A = this chain, B = another copy of it.
Amino acid sequence: MADFAPDDSFDSIALASGGLDSTTVLAIAISRGFRPLPLTFRYGQNHSIETQQVGWIARSLDLPPPLILDLPFDHIGGSALLGSSPIPDEPQQGASQRQEIPTTYVPARNLVFLSLAVAAAEARSVRDIWIGVNALDYSGYPDCRPEFLEAFLLAAHRGTREGSSQSDQPWWRLQSPLVEMSKAQIIRTATELGVDLSLTLSCYAPDAEGQACGRCDSCGLRRRGFEEAAIPDPTRYQNHG
């Protein structure tokens, strides 16, 4: 096991993508007296600038440097976010308005991310895992729904040291404070907590400087969120000329 320096202390683990949602979760965790270790994955996503961004965000929130784990999703395949397939251009609607799952869906991503978060948490003896899933203004991914989180919690409980007891009262605490929030509410919360949202990146297809495309599903949800919250949008968008 690695050594952890005292100034890098933490009491929980937070999945952090550098986006609006997970950054707001970091700030909420802090506001509730926690000091989460940001956990981020490098997995051959088109937008690997994400991992850099998480480092800047962690510093801006006075959190320990993120734990960055490499994941072989490029060998697993199956998503427009990974291969050379183009990211859909047209902003799509929230799942409340439609049924189908977008091509940007990465197979079982939150299942894999949460499993690794549980492994890292177990190895570090922390119990709380923060995740920024959001079932209201989201992209229609099945692994963002509360019923998934609930089932995962039981699997994680039974599949780890703590769950070898007979009780099915989950030992792990899955903290998902955004789950019932609209994008506008998330933006308002982040703003109230003093998060520098210009550091966050939600776009599926940013350029090398981290400028958002303004066109993908995720950019659309974010843009409408700022409009609805009546908060100026600090996002740096690419100039499409």
Contact = CB atoms under 8 A, between A and B. Distances in A.
B1 A101 contact: no
B123 A77 contact: yes
A122 B78 CA distance: 8
B123 A76 contact: yes
How many monomers of this chain does the complex have? 2
A164 B101 contact: yes
Contact of A107 (B79, B106, B118): B118
B142 A148 contact: no
B142 A78 contact: no
A2 interface: yes
Interface stretch (A18-26, A63-71, A194-202, A219-227): A63-71
A113 to B, nearest CB: 9
A109 interface: yes
Contact of A156 (B70, B79, B111): B111
A115 interface: yes
A119 interface: yes
A73 B119 contact: yes
A30 interface: no
A158 B148 contact: yes
A155 interface: yes
A116 interface: yes
A109 B123 CA distance: 11
A191 interface: no
A163 B111 CA distance: 13
B164 A159 contact: no
A159 B1 contact: no
A110 interface: yes
A83 B71 CA distance: 20
A28 interface: no
A142 B119 contact: no
Interface string A106-143: 11111110111011101110000000000000000011
B101 A159 contact: no
Contacts of A72: 69-71, 116
A75 interface: yes
B159 A142 contact: yes
Given A76-B123, A101-B161, A154-B154, 11 more contacts: A69-B75, A71-B72, A78-B119, A78-B122, A101-B164, A106-B119, A108-B122, A145-B158, A148-B159, A151-B158, A152-B158
